[in-house]
Chains A and B, each alone.
Chain A
Amino acid sequence: MTSNPALLLMLGAIPVPFLRGWVRGAWLVALPVAGLILLWTTPEGTQAGFELFGLAVEPLRVDALSRVFATAFHVAALLTMVYALHLRDASQQVAILVYAGAAIGGTLAGDLLTLFVFWELTGLASAFLIWTRRTERSYRAGMRYVIAQVISGLLMLAGIVERLHAGAGLEFSYIGLDGPGGALILLAIGMKCAFPVLHAWLQDTYPEATIVGGVALSAFTTKFAIYTLARGFPGTEMLIWIGVVMACFPIFYAVIENDLRRVLSYSMINQLGFMVVGIGIGGSLGINGAAAHAFADIVFKGLLFMSMGAVLLRTGTVNGSDLGGLYKSMPQTTALCIVGAASISAFPLFSGFATKSMIMQAVAEEHRTVAWMLLLFASAGVFHHAGIKIPYFAFFAHDRGWRVAEAPVNMRVAMAMAAIICLAIGMGPAWLYDMLPYPVDYVPYTTPHVVNQLQLLLLASLAFTLLIRTGLYPPELRSVNLDFDVVYRRVLPGQWNAALRGVTQVRTRLGVPLRQRTGRLLEVASGPLRPRGWLGAPWPTHVMVWWVALLLGVFLLMSMLYS
């Protein structure tokens, strides 16, 4: 008898609304822990498979790749649950459990049909984390989010159908771009893990989520897509360049973005870019690097979102232009945020250093100079906006006079747990390396690596300091920065409205005169047929006889001519 951790979390969500107080809290925390135990006691291999219309369905497959991602999702679920303990309204807690369960279920899916079901379920369940903010703005953002998720699901469904049609079956293993349905499935994954141009929904909608929702969203959807990519498309050359673009372009936006949770969304795309590069390189180091970095990213990005959520809860804003000096009121949140910032920046002793460097090493071993230089640029860039900008503008910079309470205890506990994991990965990554799909012979702590990374980061922070001190650093401004979402939020609706206006105009300009003219034409043409028209009036008999004779004569003449 085996049971699926995903079902445990999803079914465990049912009693949540009926529980109160500490009982509910204990239940919420116990579920992910129980799921994690269940995951690690499930032996490797596929379980509980059955046949559906002659197709093999394998809803539970545990192997090293799926287990490391599923473990990360359980950790994220636990952290998010602790972070959400203060909520009295159960709707978000239920949504998070279903959402986390769906991501775990998708990761453990052995066939494409199960994957598809969970693929859609993550999209739908997580939309409630945007809607439960209960504002007009978040309602619309949630709709845009759902549409993006559903489109991704439909693309995947089309890809699966194409595979079935080509006789490739339902099994979810290596798909490849050239395989049947490969392009469609890659496109579906590309939407969820924010390939360039397809990324707009992420930075558009994540910052509109609730405080707790932002933390949950940062963990599951995109990393679930990374897992799918790692299983279906390892070693796909194109992904290297897609990943490099993902790592580079968002950092420019992050520098000028005012909403600090949107800055984090951009830095998420940047980090996903590194993982996509790792998968594109493929091989044991590339895939290990992508999986390890996904694990680390789930925790440190969650930590950063948690700290910004705490700021949002206490001050009501996360705009850089309105914040500053919060370290005085929220010293613990500040310290924990800095741990997350150091982790994403890959400072030695923090998690990113032990994980991102595997991807850099994989790129270096293939001697891809341009990609490597650009990723190094992206590393300096992420330090700039996520490593320095986030803590600096929220907690330091100009004291804006915020005198607020420290974050609630449960939030601080969740952040502290995340910070401990960040440090545990950074200081002794062996336990994470042991979980990875391939044996690891990579050593992160070598003198050149530590020194080079410190050189890069210290000089980048010097650049930041000098730009701030000289006033050259762009001030935080209340503004909207156009990204690709302008296409579906402005251009396409604009075109549609223009087209509608055009049609109306055509109707008034052309339609009305045309109808008048045709009416008149009909009147003129039908005039003779009317009762008083010359055709309609009764004719004398002799005239009719003459006409008949004439017609018969013409007929006779014709038949004689052509016979």
Chain B
Amino acid sequence: MNDDDPRWLDEPRNVTRLVYGLVVLCALAFLADLFYTKDPHFGVERWFGFYAIYGFVVSTALVMSAKEVLRRVVRRDEDYYEPPERTRDDE
């Protein structure tokens, strides 16, 4: 296939479809807690949908804190240590 042919993913509508698909999957995963017996080691594991909520909350918190706090503190120009050297690689 030619690399420049339009692909399925190039169509924004299809990407939106994928996102909705993911939302449905997430909802299913969340509701799956109704259908099995838990085998918890910790009290928090008994909460309904604990893993789902925890996964969503901590990853949002991770990205936002990395962006708003860490990047502000540690970001420097690319040539902070030495001038950038675009490398032509092995062979």
Binding site for B on A (CB under 8 A): 86-89, 92, 132-133, 135-138, 140, 210-212, 251-253, 255-256, 312-313, 316-317, 327-329, 364-365, 367, 369, 372-373, 376-377, 380-381, 383-384, 396, 399, 403, 446-448, 451-467, 469, 472-474, 477-483, 489-490
Give the distance to chain B from A364, nearest Cβ to Cβ, in Å. 4
Contact status of A479 and B62, CB under 8 A, knowing A133-B90, A210-B90: no
Q: Are B3 and A480 in contact (CB under 8 A)?
A: no
Q: Are A458 and B29 in contact (CB under 8 A)?
A: yes
Q: Which residues of B contact A136 (CB under 8 A)?
A: 82, 85
A443→B3 CA distance, assembly (Å): 45
Within 8 A of A (CB), among B34-89: 36-39, 41-42, 44-45, 49, 51-56, 58-60, 62-67, 70-71, 73-82, 85-89
Q: Are B26 and A212 in contact (CB under 8 A)?
A: no
Q: Are B32 and A403 in contact (CB under 8 A)?
A: no
Q: Which residues of B contact A399 (CB under 8 A)?
A: 10
Q: Which residues of B contact A86 (CB under 8 A)?
A: 91
- Chain A's closest residue to B4 (CB) is A403
Q: Which residues of A contact B78 (CB under 8 A)?
A: 478-480
Binding site for A on B (CB under 8 A): 3-4, 7, 9-10, 19, 22-23, 25-26, 29-30, 32-33, 36-39, 41-42, 44-45, 49, 51-56, 58-60, 62-67, 70-71, 73-82, 85-91
The 10 closest A-B pairs by CB, nearest first: A474-B67, A255-B66, A364-B41, A455-B51, A456-B55, A459-B55, A455-B52, A482-B74, A459-B56, A460-B59
A140→B82 CA distance, assembly (Å): 10
Q: Which residues of B contact A461 (CB under 8 A)?
A: 22
Q: Which residues of A contact B9 (CB under 8 A)?
A: 327, 396
Q: Which residues of A contact B54 (CB under 8 A)?
A: 376-377, 380, 456
Q: Which residues of B contact A474 (CB under 8 A)?
A: 63, 66-67, 71
Contact status of A481 and B75, CB under 8 A, knowing A86-B91, A462-B56: yes
Contact status of A448 and B89, CB under 8 A, knowing A380-B62, A463-B55, A465-B22: no
Contact status of A458 and B58, CB under 8 A, knowing A136-B85, A477-B75: no
A452→B52 CA distance, assembly (Å): 8
Q: Are B51 and A316 in contact (CB under 8 A)?
A: no
Give the distance to chain B from A331, nearest Cβ to Cβ, in Å. 9
Give the distance to chain A from B45, nearest Cβ to Cβ, in Å. 8
- Chain A's closest residue to B10 (CB) is A399
Partner of A92, one of B3, B71, B90: B90
Partner of A463, one of B60, B73, B75, B85: B60
Q: Are B26 and A384 in contact (CB under 8 A)?
A: no
Q: Are A480 and B4 in contact (CB under 8 A)?
A: no
Q: Which residues of A contact B59 (CB under 8 A)?
A: 380-381, 383-384, 459-460, 463-464
